[in-house]
Chain A
Amino acid sequence: MKLIFDKSMNGRTGFRIPELDVPKENIDKKYLRKELPNLPETYELEVIRHYDELEKLNHSVDKGFYPLGSCTMKYNPVLNEEIANWENFKFIHPYQEEETVQGNLQIMYELQNYLGELTGMDAVTLQPAAGAHGELTGMLIIKKYLETNGFKNKTKVIVPDSAHGTNPASAKMAGFEIVEVKSNINGTVDIEELKKIMTEDIAAIMLTNPNTLGIFEKDILEISKIAKSNNTLLYYDGANLNAIMGKVRPGDMGFDVVHLNLHKTLSTPHGMGGPGSGTVGVKEFLKDYLPKPIVEKSKEDKYFINYNIKHSIGRVRSFYGNFLVYLKAYIYILSMGSDGLKRASELAVLNANYMKKKMSEYMNMSHEGICKHEFVIDGSFLKEYGVKTLDIAKRLMDFDIHPPTVYFPLIVKEAMMIEPTETESKERLDIVIENFKTIVEEAKTNPDIIKKAPHNTKISRLNELKANKELNIKY
């Protein structure tokens, strides 16, 4: 499709600015550009059509099934969008006087409490802008806490081999060294292995539970015990919280710090890769280490922004986080309520197990038994037909299904991770299950159709090698 720059015509403009109504002020020419930036010169209808065409080239949750494992692509309610567009939320300056933003501050205060209750944590910051940003914040809190309390020798963080790549990257950014712990045959943390590497210098263990294989770490209480006895903190990666809302809380499992991806579990839209919101919750003893500022309520029931946090790690971003994003999560929490959030988790787990069971009839699963909200297929059973997981992924596009997450977690060969979420109906799942079955049969009888897929998209497989070798990253 043509680029917007190719549609540019000198002299066109899509916007008329009112005439300048004040006298012009002199300006030294040395400050001004000699050549204007090459932005497109076009007009309103062209811009509308351009983006309309581009929208059609995207798969989205609204368009169809999007079982991207570990990303929780649930439906994004339009109600949330409408309210987040109200002028009294959208056009608020962050430096307005507190008396003029009491509505926003109340929402922040209540949301902090709701998220604390949902995760079993005592205090929450809304500041982090994304999941990985939350991880960094959490690890910085742990680091500062340990340093302040005489544990300067604790320099390492344990991360399972099945963990999200952001976990080790975030821990590293917080200044820790990474120690990887291997998963056992059941796909969970190997307790014996863990004990072996649990040396005195271990600051924290980062876990997601259920883990990235969709399996609940059933030994979590024992892991917690091992950690506690070594003054090691437990960090919970909340990417998979959608499986357990109202059923079990990270805080009750023994976790000390939690981040939540509000864009996953609490339905704020992913927006092509952001903005997200990666709020962080901590247990009471870590409260004074949260990034500043935090919203509090005075004795007179006035909400205020508290910058005075004793051992605060500092700021992790400007202002107070992605307000318009977490506002949507707040609306979702109120819409669903205590009862609905729990139901959402139960149905996400029901959907995943239903798909897993039905698909086990013709595909190999990485691990047997019940799963939580996602499960992993081991695609290597199609190797003898010369078909790879990536080929299956591409073929799914011809059925209007967004491919699942592929080649992650790294510990499963030819991995394909499916997460249906609770917002898909049984009818939809049945259709998708049949589509997968068709593709597996094709792999055995007509593998070429898969290897050359997709066939129905405007663009076929792209040459990534060329893109990386001959960098072309702007017009």
Chain B
Amino acid sequence: MYPYLPHTDEDINKMLKTIGVNAIDDLYSDVPELLNRDLNIPNSISEINLKRSLREKASLNDNIRDFGCFRGGGIYNHYIPSIVYQIGAKRGFLTAYTPYQAEVSQGTLQIMYEFQTMISELTGLEVSNSSMYDGATSVAEAILMAGRINKKYKTLIANTIHPEYIEVCETYLKPQEFNLEKINYDKKTGKINITDLKNKINDEISSVVIGYPNFYGIIEDIEEIREIIPKNILLIVVSNPIMLGAFQSPGKLGADIVVGEGQPLGNAPGFGGPGFGFFSSKKEFIRNMPGRIIGKTIDDNGKEGFVMILQTREQHIRREKATSNICSNHAHNALLAAVYMSIMGRTGIKEIAMQNYHKSHYLYNKLIKTEKFEPVFEGTFFNEFALKSKISIDKINKKLHEQKYFGPLNLEKITGEKNIALFCATELNTKEEIDFICSFLEGII
């Protein structure tokens, strides 16, 4: 017997008899060639032994709870209030499916409606969907959406967007004959190079994609960029949702579509997944938006309730003519974010954003004082920043690891830039540990 399978031999015999066959294999008589060997997968093991084996594997990892973490680059180490885990573990959320039948899915639907509201509040745009796979696929889908809106198939993307996001965009856009051209950044400020942007804008451009903050942590001037771009070109902003708790919302500054990785909102790093992608736009574009959208309505008795809307955009109805192929989204991760935002409230998330800003700046100033690092950019940054290192970054990280810290990201592995370290500090980094690593780094030769 297996713990998840209820059938006794007696059950099986009765059922076979009812069906009118002698053996289970008779139910496979239409299969031309049955596998005549066992799968090369170990035989089933007990819960006790399985946990033993998994503990052993887990012990081969170091986690960023036991280790201090100064590393970001797309996934951030934020505190997750206990309540987020408790509500996320509720089986009525975990073991439910897509709300195809609204009457028995009001829990899911209301959560997604509230989530859409919260995301719109952060981004400053009128409409949001109920989540995407991750930040990278959200950007790719945003570019495709812009193409559907203005029927143009060329995009300018800042080369300060997360390099992995750009790779995903390239994968998504190429088969659709959508061209991607990169915009350079200003070596001094770390912001988008305005002259380069101006030079590359022409009638063929569908959208412009910028980061806010960008991959180096620098806050772009959205308003200035919006002014340069003609109205019919869509401005797509890739953002960090925590920053939006205190900083100006891209929607209010002129963005048409705002997307990003939602992991910082109550989701664990999880070795990179699952987090979720968030996706907002102006209301006029809603029919071109990918993914699921939840709307409010009334039932037969006039009671308020929620349903999935605009399903005619989706693949189960429009098939190859759908706005996108996205079907499953990351609803459970969106739930975690909704709980996080509910518990933080508007002042809590603002405070988190401000602490991220202050702590990372404290770290920045201290690191410069060690004289082991030099500034790279002058632009204002949020919670991460790039520094030129005078010592090998791998060596720094090795030494810091011995002290139980994960140091900066070595950008050579990500962007190819030599001796550039990307540091990050969040509300979880204490003054004590910042002081410690800085004085420790001072002593490294």
CB neighbors of B among A48-77 (8 A): 48, 50-52, 54-63, 66, 68, 71, 73-77
- A residues within 8 A CB of B85? 85
User: Are B309 and A462 in contact (CB-based, < 8 A)?
Assistant: no
Closest CB of chain A to B64's CB: distance in Å?
5
Within 8 Å by CB of A23, from B131, B165, B326, B362, lies B362
User: Are B91 and A62 in contact (CB-based, < 8 A)?
Assistant: yes
Closest CB of chain B to A129's CB: distance in Å?
4
Q: Which of A190-198, A269-277, A280-288, A435-443 lies at the interface with chain B?
A: A269-277
- A residues within 8 A CB of B244? 37
User: What's the dominant secondary structure at chain A's contact region?
Assistant: loop
User: Are A221 and B325 in contact (CB-based, < 8 A)?
Assistant: no
- 0 or 1 for each of B45-83: is its CB under 8 Å from A? (1 = yes): 101001101100111111111100101011101000101
B190 at the interface (CB under 8 A from A): no
- A residues within 8 A CB of B104? 57-59, 397, 402-403, 454, 457
Asked, given contacts A13-B347, A23-B362, A103-B61, whether A325 binds B273 with beta carbons under 8 Å apart, the answer is: yes
Q: Which of B145-153, B202-210, B294-302, B367-375 lies at the interface with chain A?
A: B294-302
A422 at the interface (CB under 8 A from B): yes
User: Are A274 and B7 in contact (CB-based, < 8 A)?
Assistant: no
- A residues within 8 A CB of B268? 90-91, 324
Within 8 Å by CB of A341, from B41, B116, B131, B351, lies B41
- 0 or 1 for each of B299-340: is its CB under 8 Å from A? (1 = yes): 111010111011000111111111011111111110100010
Report the contact-size class of chain A (Cβ under 8 Å from the partner). Answer: 35 or more
- 0 or 1 for each of B163-178: is its CB under 8 Å from A? (1 = yes): 0110110111011110
- Nearest opposing residue in chain A for B344, CB measure: A15
Closest CB of chain B to A15's CB: distance in Å?
5
CB neighbors of A among B16-45 (8 A): 16, 18-21, 24, 26-35, 38-45
Considering only CB atoms and an 8 Å cut-off, how many residues of chain B contact the other chain? 200
User: Are A247 and B34 in contact (CB-based, < 8 A)?
Assistant: yes
CB neighbors of B among A137-170 (8 A): 140, 143, 164-166, 168-170
CB neighbors of B among A305-351 (8 A): 313-325, 331, 333-344, 346-347, 349-351
- A residues within 8 A CB of B390? none
Within 8 Å by CB of B335, from A76, A272, A335, lies A272
User: Are A338 and B61 in contact (CB-based, < 8 A)?
Assistant: no
Q: Which of B61, B77, B331, B414 has most chain A Cβ within 10 Å?
A: B61
- A residues within 8 A CB of B331? 271-275
A81 to B307, CA, bound (A): 29
- 0 or 1 for each of A85-114: is its CB under 8 Å from B? (1 = yes): 111111111111100111110110000001
Closest CB of chain A to B407's CB: distance in Å?
10
- Nearest opposing residue in chain B for A45, CB measure: B83
Q: Which of A226-234, A376-384, A464-472 lies at the interface with chain B?
A: A464-472
Closest CB of chain B to A271's CB: distance in Å?
3
User: Are B6 and A423 in contact (CB-based, < 8 A)?
Assistant: yes
Q: Which of B181-189, B193-201, B225-233, B427-435 lies at the interface with chain A?
A: B427-435
Q: Which of B58, B303, B432 has most chain A Cβ within 10 Å?
A: B58
B391 at the interface (CB under 8 A from A): no
Q: Which of B113, B130, B327, B361 has most chain A Cβ within 10 Å?
A: B327
- 0 or 1 for each of B127-145: is its CB under 8 Å from A? (1 = yes): 1101101111100000000
- A residues within 8 A CB of B110? 1, 3, 54, 57
User: Are A342 and B315 in contact (CB-based, < 8 A)?
Assistant: no
CB neighbors of B among A4-55 (8 A): 4-5, 8, 12-15, 17-18, 20-25, 27-28, 30-33, 36-42, 44, 47-48, 50-52, 54-55
A459 to B162, CA, bound (A): 44
- Nearest opposing residue in chain B for A48, CB measure: B83
Closest CB of chain B to A308's CB: distance in Å?
13
| 6 extra A-B contacts, CB within 8 A, seeds A20-B354, A165-B315, A271-B330 | A25-B357, A39-B118, A165-B318, A166-B316, A350-B15, A460-B301
